[in-house]
Chains A and B, each alone.
Chain A
Amino acid sequence: MAGAVLIAVRGVTKVYSRGGVDIRILDALDLDIAAGSYTALMGPSGSGKTTLLNLLGALDRPDAGAIVVGGEDITTFDDGALAAWRARTVGFIFQLYNLLPVLRAIDNVALPLQLFGLPRRERRRRAATALDLVGLGDRMEHYPSELSGGQEQRVAIARAIVTDPTFLLADEPTGDLDPTSSTGILDLLDQLHRDLGKTILMVTHSHTAAERAEQIVHLENGRIAPGEAA
């Protein structure tokens, strides 16, 4: 099922200094993600999973190493180019949804489409389609505070896919949800992967969740544990 390498992580190092001491959270890490794959990233708390995801999504920059996506090393981009690249390439799904509380569900979903110069009507039309896809066609005009956690996460997923990005990064997407809602969200991710062919990288602590993925990789001591990388 996995195709050509979409994301190639080479020798990526991330160092945080705390109290004058440098800690290598990621230490010359290598990882390949194939186009169309669904990968679960696991590891102990504080092992650097979020840090790695942030680097892959260009929310942060590594201290060393290269991150090559579709043949381009994004670590060489400037801030403006990275912002444009993020808008085109990555869909983010966070544990705490990160919807904008002042916007209705449909406006939250339509927000990133502004970066594509689409007219308002078209933005709303596409946002409505995405909300239909995640099963929230009847909650479009609700504010986030009027939705359940599971519904908020569905809105967040709709926002992540509405721009048709190359890959999705999900950081503990079910970490804050009850089992029923979690199952719903995982089913939705399955569907995005299976039906729409989305490349997904999901951080999770839950084995149930991880088993939905095609492969599981473990982050330990700043690297991908040997023998388990795809």
Chain B
Amino acid sequence: MIPAGLIGAHLRRNRLRAALTAGSVALAVFLFCTLQTVITSLQAITSGHSANRLIASSAVSLFQTLPLASVERIRSARLPDVLEVGHWTWFDGIFRGDPREFFARFAVDVRQMRRQYGDLAPGGGEYLLTRAEWDRFEQERSACIVGRGLADRYGLRVGDPLVLEGTIYPGTFRFTIVAVYSSGNPTYDEETLFFHWDYLNEAMGRIDTVGTMSITIRNPYRAAEVCLEIDALFQNSANRTLTQPEAAFNAQFLSMWGRIDLLFAVIGGAVVFASFMITLNTMLLSVKERVREIGVLKTLGFPNPSLFGLYLAESALLCGGGAVLGLGLAMAAFHGQPVRLATVIFPEFGVAGSTQVAALLIGALLALISGVGPGLVAARVPIVKALRLV
């Protein structure tokens, strides 16, 4: 039986210390949740990909372009598993004269895009536009479409002109927004601008290069073999390819962040460990300060286990309260809205269920390890020793 009212009395009389201790746990748990949310969101981005698509890029580097002829080469090979071949070209560029106004811009073969990602794709596709909108996009050479998030952010509307200054591809590129797309799948963001590759290619004097090729295949279980078959087509050419499933390709793209998941896990762990040391220190200090109280309680007849329980409960209140607070803050801050972090856009940035559970477990674990030690000290100290010390 724990002496009732004593924990509350101590917390009231030491409000600042209690607040600081619980605050350190709250902060640690909040940071943990934040880092963990980045990790789970990264995973979500790479997990929702179509298993039916492969991406072929230059074997040299992601930034090396491929000749347009590569597309034709795959088509003409008539591989039995290959259904569609499209291409995407990364157009860097500057919007509104400010390099910081960054979003993804791709030049695509619109007709192919429609068949692979749009209304003509089997099962509906990821980028959602009406048939009329797709028709218009496909027919107007200087047309572009933008994601809903992007449109909201910059106040873009259908019919508006949009100008990009080229960087990789020099020149001024003028577009007309013909539609605002939304995404049917959180893996595909609503923060990208698409325009006609033909328009870019003509402006560049028909250099006939593309960034990556997107290949739709018949049977996802044959993906690994098809990757090898495609790469084999370019085995002896000057433009060898690296073909991989779309999910793997995206993971590689994101890995430009380095082993961010590992890094974040380490940082999160370190932060939690630091808060553990703070709590343990506070609890040990309070045992030392209150050793006379421990002696008095034992003198009055409170048994050793109740002293143990007293300190465990106090630590549980501080750590548990802190953890719940930190988790609550994280959930209030990240509730599934899109978040842009450097070059990556998280379509749904929210604290995952697994992260919530982990945060509460951390709170419980902190409570346990910072409560058991002091609790044992309190339970074990001989009464006469406790009463002598001041």
> Which of B17-25, B258-266, B297-305 is the interface stretch?
B297-305
Give the Cβ gap from A133 to chain B, nearest Cβ, in Å.
19
A103, B300: Cβ atoms closer than 8 Å? no
B9, A59: Cβ atoms closer than 8 Å? no
A115, B300: Cβ atoms closer than 8 Å? yes
Residue A228 at the chain B interface, CB threshold 8 Å: no
Which chain B residues in 238-255 approach chain A with CB under 8 Å? none
Partner of A59, one of B4, B293, B299: B299
- Closest residue on chain B to residue A97 by CB atoms: B296
B296, A98: Cβ atoms closer than 8 Å? yes
- Closest residue on chain B to residue A79 by CB atoms: B304
> Which of B138-146, B222-230, B379-387 is the interface stretch?
B379-387
A86, B301: Cβ atoms closer than 8 Å? yes
A103, B384: Cβ atoms closer than 8 Å? no
Give the Cβ gap from A134 to chain B, nearest Cβ, in Å.
17
A107 to B5, CA, bound (A): 9
Please give the number of chain A residues whose Cβ is less than 8 angstroms from any Cβ of chain B in the complex.
27
A58 to B283, CA, bound (A): 28
With a 10 A CB-CB cut-off, give which of A80, A86, A159 has the most chain B CB atoms.
Answer: A86
Residue A196 at the chain B interface, CB threshold 8 Å: no
Interface of A is mostly: helix
Residue A167 at the chain B interface, CB threshold 8 Å: no
Partner of A60, one of B292, B297, B383: B383
Which chain A residues in 96-155 approach chain B with CB under 8 Å? 98-103, 107, 111-112, 114-115, 120
A60, B296: Cβ atoms closer than 8 Å? no
B299, A92: Cβ atoms closer than 8 Å? yes
A100, B387: Cβ atoms closer than 8 Å? no
A98-B296, A102-B9 are contacts. A84–B387 as well, Cβ < 8 Å?
Answer: no
Give the Cβ gap from A129 to chain B, nearest Cβ, in Å.
18
Residue B6 at the chain A interface, CB threshold 8 Å: yes
Interface of B is mostly: helix
Residue B171 at the chain A interface, CB threshold 8 Å: no
Instruction: Determine the chain A residues whose CB is within 8 A of the CB of B298 once the complex forms.
Output: 59, 83
A80 to B6, CA, bound (A): 21
A103 to B290, CA, bound (A): 13
B303, A80: Cβ atoms closer than 8 Å? yes
Residue B13 at the chain A interface, CB threshold 8 Å: yes
A172 to B163, CA, bound (A): 92
- Closest residue on chain B to residue A88 by CB atoms: B301
Instruction: Determine the chain A residues whose CB is within 8 A of the CB of B382 once the complex forms.
Output: 60
Partner of A115, one of B12, B302, B304, B383: B302
Instruction: Determine the chain B residues whose CB is within 8 A of the CB of A83 once the complex forms.
Output: 298, 301-304
Instruction: Determine the chain A residues whose CB is within 8 A of the CB of B10 once the complex forms.
Output: 102
In the complex, 27 of the A-B residue pairs with CB atoms within 8 angstroms, ordered by the A residue number, are A59-B299, A59-B387, A60-B382, A83-B302, A83-B303, A83-B304, A84-B301, A84-B303, A85-B301, A87-B300, A87-B301, A87-B302, A92-B300, A94-B387, A98-B292, A98-B296, A98-B299, A100-B9, A102-B9, A102-B10, A102-B12, A107-B9, A111-B3, A112-B301, A114-B1, A114-B3, A120-B4
New A-B contacts (20) at CB < 8 Å, excluding given A54-B384, A59-B298: A54-B383, A59-B384, A59-B387, A60-B382, A79-B303, A80-B304, A83-B298, A83-B301, A84-B303, A88-B301, A98-B299, A98-B387, A101-B13, A102-B13, A103-B6, A103-B9, A107-B9, A111-B297, A114-B1, A114-B4
